[in-house]
């Protein structure tokens, strides 16, 4: 049946770093695009108090081509994955990779966005648990389950399965690849794809638009599935890539010249003249010219630009994609009451979204039990045993993430919470609308802090043999964890809540780590960080206890001091855990001397 021999990875030219860079850059642009939607006049999940009417035109800079090139790259990636696999095996591989993060995102990440959106727009006033009961109750399920930004994963999964069976026959695949190659020589690499994009924009888009609902999104399928198949067929076509590189400058010139026209046609009422056909043609022209320029320049400059930075970013893309919109929506919700100037607010949203997504990636990639939920493959190689410190150190990264996430949710569900005058413990007290957020986060952080202590103690034993110092460090963490757990079980103003002061004992842990690691020259940077952390925490303790500058901390600003103190008290643990885990990973991979 398969007359044509199966293609090998060598036939496809090996892994393409340029496509990986395009994927990373496109997802980074997606975050900026979503931040832009926060400031646009059109409806989105949540919007800032600052609205700019020209934002839709500004978003046209990447809007027409960014997702299309992502579908193209997704198709190309699947072509590499398909090598050596039969249709059934390939379909199972794609579902195993995409199914868990899609289900996890729909059940755990999207509902937070939907709840905040309903709260912000005034259609809901209840708690998140009540919202979950409504969304996943009979009436909510009857109306469908929202997927929000995860529609992209739904489409990639569906397109992957369709492509598996559409192109399973090797002879058919060879014919289609040959047809693609024959259709796009020379200048046709610019003309033929433009003609297709123009045709569907003129004929299909006016009828269906874009819905992001897979059962009724025919223009989007014509565009995105077409791009997916194009990428699948394009990978091994050396002559097509040569022409993309050859025509990269004309493509960039066309894109630069057509973009202002696209923006003007979008902004001006006259853009709809002649049934909108001229607008559709210029849109398609800019769309393909931008994609062709991206592919051509990337192939020319980045095809061999691999390395550890690209490896790291490429692995981080899917977890960051899953997390970023929930982080962004939550950040907008928390920042709106502050009424910051628009530039400061936008910059903060960008930083928080990027940084928060990467922090989550750093946490989940160290937790084998949750890696697949975030789209990460199981780690290769021999897994550390139960008394190896690396798995325990993962809790040192997860504990701050859990604490900060639950505190943010508790703040979001506490209308009028005053950051300057109120203590964090009040988020879990009697006046809070949903104290469960805060108390559950503190409880989880306490348990994970105790487990992280085992990782820090075992790390010192592994790296230096300092058993006593390692044991003392683990004890400090265990006491801190016990204090946090107790305070969560007995919320403020219960007197037993003051057991949280045991958590302050973690301040001694940096000194213990400094002492235990004093002989490791390769950890000088970590030791400097620990020293600075201890000095800063000691200074904050002296100031907040009114031992010096007695009027500096007062009722009008005590909340901000407490937040600074808490951020450092909890945050340093993640940094130290990551540094130690990397050092241990290096030593684990080092060859054993004979």
286 & 413 share domain: no
* Confidence check: pLDDT of 378 > 80: no
- Is residue 298 located within the same domain as residue 391? no
pLDDT of residue 490: 82
Residues 295 and 400 in one domain: no
What's the 3-state SS for 294-332?
HHHHHHHHHCCCCCHHHHHHHHHHHHHHHHHHHHHHHHH
Find the Cα–Cα–Cα–Cα dihedral 97, 100, 106, 109, rounded to 10°: -90
What is the rounded distance in angstroms from the CA atom of residue 540 to the CA atom of residue 228?
Answer: 55
- Boundary-marking domain end, from 266, 288, 304: 304
CA dihedral for 118, 119, 123, 125, sign (positive or negative): positive
Best-predicted range by mean pLDDT among 70-79, 417-426, 445-454, 515-524? 70-79
Q: What is the pLDDT of residue 4?
A: 41
Same domain flag for 449 and 574: yes
Q: Is the pLDDT of residue 496 over 90?
A: no
Say how far apart CA 159 and CA 226 lie, in whole Å. 10
Q: Which of 134-138, 346-350, 378-382, 385-389 has the highest mean pLDDT?
A: 346-350
Out of 304, 321, 338, pick the residue that ends a domain: 304
- Per-residue pLDDT at 242: 96
Tens-place pLDDT, residues 439-460: 887 888 888 888 888 888 888 8
Q: How many whole angstroms separate alpha carbon 99 and alpha carbon 3?
A: 33
- Assess if residue 114 is contained within a domain: no
pLDDT band at 335 (very low <50, low <70, confident <90, very high): confident
Pairwise CA distance, residues 391 & 368, whole Å: 8
Which band of pLDDT confidence, cut at 50, 70 and 90, is reported for residue 592? very low
* pLDDT above 50 for 1: no
pLDDT of residue 384: 53
Rounded CA separation 361/371 (Å): 9
Tokens 């046709």 locate to 188
**498 found inside a domain:** yes
Q: How far apart are CA 39 and CA 177, in angstroms?
A: 43
List the domain range (segments joined by +) for residue 220.
69-86+168-304
Q: Which residue has the higher pLDDT, 9 or 149?
A: 149
Measured in Å, how far apart are the chain's first and last C-alpha atoms?
53
Query: Is the predicted pLDDT of residue 271 greater than 90, yes or no?
Result: no
**Which candidate, 106, 201, 93, places its Cα nearest to that of 151?**
106
- What is the spatial distance between Cα 45 and Cα 308, in angstroms, rounded to a whole number? 36
**402 and 274 belong to one structural domain:** no
One domain for residues 417 and 298: no
Residues 295 and 401 in one domain: no
Give the pLDDT confidence of 564-583 residue by residue, as tens digits.
888 888 888 888 888 888 88
Distance CA 373, CA 369 (A): 8
Is residue 374 situated within a structural domain? no
Residue 439's closest CA among 413, 415, 419?
413
Residue 504, pLDDT above cutoff 80: no
pLDDT of residue 591: 54
**Token pair belonging to 214:** 């897979």
pLDDT above 90 for 257: yes
**pLDDT on residue 193:** 97
Q: Which whole number is the average pLDDT over 45-60?
A: 96
- pLDDT of residue 386 exceeding 90: no
3-state secondary structure at position 335: helix
Query: What string of DSSP letters covers 451-497?
Result: HHHHHHHHHHHHHH--HHHHHHHHHHHHHHHHHHHHHHHS-TTSGGG
Q: What is this structure's pTM?
A: 0.76
Question: In 136-237, which residue ranges form alpha helices assigned H by DSSP?
Answer: 138-142, 151-166, 170-183, 188-203, 205-208, 218-234
Predicted local distance difference test score (pLDDT) of residue 327: 92
> Judging by beta carbons within 10 Å of its beta carbon (0-12, 13-18, 19+), is residue 509 exposed, middle or buried?
buried
Q: Provide the number of structural domains found in the chain.
A: 2
Which of 519, 481, 526, 521 is closest to 503 using CA atoms?
Answer: 481
pLDDT one-digit tens code per residue, 225-252: 999 999 999 998 999 999 999 999 999 9
Does residue 577 contact residue 397 with C-beta atoms inside 8 Å? Answer: yes
Who has greater pLDDT, 259 or 424?
259
pLDDT of 336 reads 85
Which segment, 212-216, 238-242, 358-362, 427-431, is predicted with the most confidence on average? 238-242
Cα–Cα distance, 148 to 560 (Å, whole number): 34
Measured CA to CA in angstroms, residue 351 lies from 26, 331, 347, 429 at distances of: 17, 10, 6, 31
Q: Is the pLDDT of residue 293 over 60?
A: yes
Token pair in block for residue 305? 């630009």
Choosing from 304, 331, 357, the residue where a domain stops is 304
Instruction: Give percent of the chain above pLDDT 90.
Output: 43
| Residue 7 vs residue 78, higher pLDDT | 78
**6 belongs to a structural domain:** no
| Residue 411 domain flag | yes
The C-alpha atoms of residue 86 and residue 73 are separated, in whole angstroms, by: 21
Ordered DSSP codes for 390-433: HHHHHHHHHHHHHHHHHHHHHHHTSTT--TTTS-GGGGGSTT-S
Q: Is the pLDDT of residue 2 over 50?
A: no
3-state secondary structure of 101: helix
Q: How far apart are CA 394 and CA 377, in angstroms?
A: 17
On whether residue 100 sits in a domain, the answer given is no
Shared domain for 576 and 445, answered yes or no, is yes
Q: Is the confidence at residue 522, as pLDDT, over 70?
A: yes
Query: Within this chain, do residues 445 and 570 fall inside the same structural domain, yes or no?
Result: yes
225 and 81 inside one domain: yes
Which DSSP letter does residue 507 get?
Answer: G
Q: What is the pLDDT of residue 48?
A: 95
Q: What is the pLDDT of residue 12?
A: 65
Cα(230)–Cα(240) distance, rounded to whole angstroms? 11
Nearest to 287 by CA among 351, 387, 197, 175: 197
Residues 269 and 416 in one domain: no
Rg value, the chain, Cα: 27
Task: Give domain status of residue 115, yes or no.
Answer: no
pLDDT (tens digit per residue) in 151-200: 999 999 999 999 998 888 889 999 999 999 999 999 999 999 999 999 99
pLDDT reported for residue 328? 95
pLDDT band for position 144 (cuts 50, 70, 90):
confident
Residue 321 has pLDDT above 90, yes or no: yes
Domain membership flag for residue 4: no
Average pLDDT over residues 450-476: 87
Measuring CA to CA, which residue among 223, 184, 236 is closest to residue 66?
223
Same domain, 434 and 559: yes
Tokens of 389: 């410190």
């Amino acid at each position: 049946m398969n007359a044509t021999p199966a293609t090998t990875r060598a036939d496809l030219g090996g892994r393409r770093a340029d496509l990986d860079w395009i994927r990373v850059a496109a997802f980074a642009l997606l975050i900026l695009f979503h931040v832009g939607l926060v400031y646009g006049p059109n409806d989105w999940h949540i919007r800032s108090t600052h609205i700019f009417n020209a934002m839709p035109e500004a978003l046209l800079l990447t809007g027409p081509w960014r997702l299309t090139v992502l579908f193209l790259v997704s198709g190309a990636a699947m072509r590499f994955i398909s090598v050596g696999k039969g249709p059934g095996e390939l379909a199972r591989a794609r579902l195993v990779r995409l199914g868990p993060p899609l289900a996890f995102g729909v059940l755990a990440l999207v509902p937070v966005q939907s709840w905040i959106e309903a709260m912000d727009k005034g259609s809901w006033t209840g708690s998140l648990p009540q919202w979950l009961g409504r969304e996943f109750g009979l009436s909510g399920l009857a109306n469908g389950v929202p997927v929000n930004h995860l529609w992209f994963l739904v489409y990639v999964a569906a397109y992957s399965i369709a492509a598996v069976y559409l192109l399973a026959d090797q002879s058919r695949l060879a014919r289609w690849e040959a047809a693609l190659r024959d259709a796009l020589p020379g200048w046709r690499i610019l003309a033929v794809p433009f003609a297709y994009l123009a045709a569907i924009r003129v004929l299909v888009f006016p009828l269906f638009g874009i819905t992001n609902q897979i059962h009724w999104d025919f223009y989007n399928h014509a565009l995105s599935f077409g791009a997916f198949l194009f990428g699948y067929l394009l990978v091994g076509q050396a002559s097509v890539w040569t022409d993309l590189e050859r025509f990269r400058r004309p493509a960039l010139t066309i894109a630069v010249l057509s973009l202002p026209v696209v923006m003007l046609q979008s902004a001006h009422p006259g853009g709809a003249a002649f049934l909108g056909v001229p607008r559709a043609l210029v849109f398609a022209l800019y769309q393909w010219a931008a994609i062709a320029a991206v592919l051509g320049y990337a192939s020319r400059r980045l095809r061999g630009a691999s390395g550890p930075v690209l490896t790291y970013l490429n692995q981080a893309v899917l977890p960051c994609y899953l997390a970023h919109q929930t982080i962004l929506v939550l950040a907008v919700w928390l920042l709106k009451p502050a009424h910051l100037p628009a530039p400061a607010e936008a910059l903060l949203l960008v930083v928080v979204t990027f940084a928060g997504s990467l922090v989550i990636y750093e946490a989940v990639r160290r937790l084998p039990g949750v890696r697949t939920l975030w789209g990460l493959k199981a780690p290769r190689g021999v897994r550390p045993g139960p008394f190896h410190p690396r798995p325990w150190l993962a809790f040192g990264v997860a504990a701050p993430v859990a604490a900060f996430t639950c505190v943010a949710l508790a703040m979001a569900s506490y209308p009028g919470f005053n950051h300057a005058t109120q203590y964090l413990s009040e988020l879990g007290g009697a006046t809070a609308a949903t104290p469960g957020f805060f108390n559950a986060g503190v409880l989880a952080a306490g348990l994970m802090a105790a487990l992280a202590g085992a990782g820090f103690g075992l790390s010192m034993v592994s790296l230096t043999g300092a058993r006593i110092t390692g044991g003392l460090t683990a004890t400090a963490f265990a006491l801190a964890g016990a204090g946090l757990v107790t305070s969560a079980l007995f919320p403020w103003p219960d007197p037993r809540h003051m057991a949280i002061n045991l958590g302050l004992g973690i301040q001694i842990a940096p000194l213990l780590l400094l002492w235990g690691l004093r002989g490791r020259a390769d950890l000088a940077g970590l030791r400097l960080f620990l020293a600075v952390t201890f000095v800063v925490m000691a200074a904050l303790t002296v100031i907040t206890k009114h031992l010096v500058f007695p009027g500096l901390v007062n009722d009008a600003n005590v909340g901000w001091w407490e937040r600074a103190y808490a951020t450092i008290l909890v945050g340093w643990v993640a940094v130290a855990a990551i540094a130690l885990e990397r050092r241990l990973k290096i030593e684990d991979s080092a060859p054993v001397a004979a």
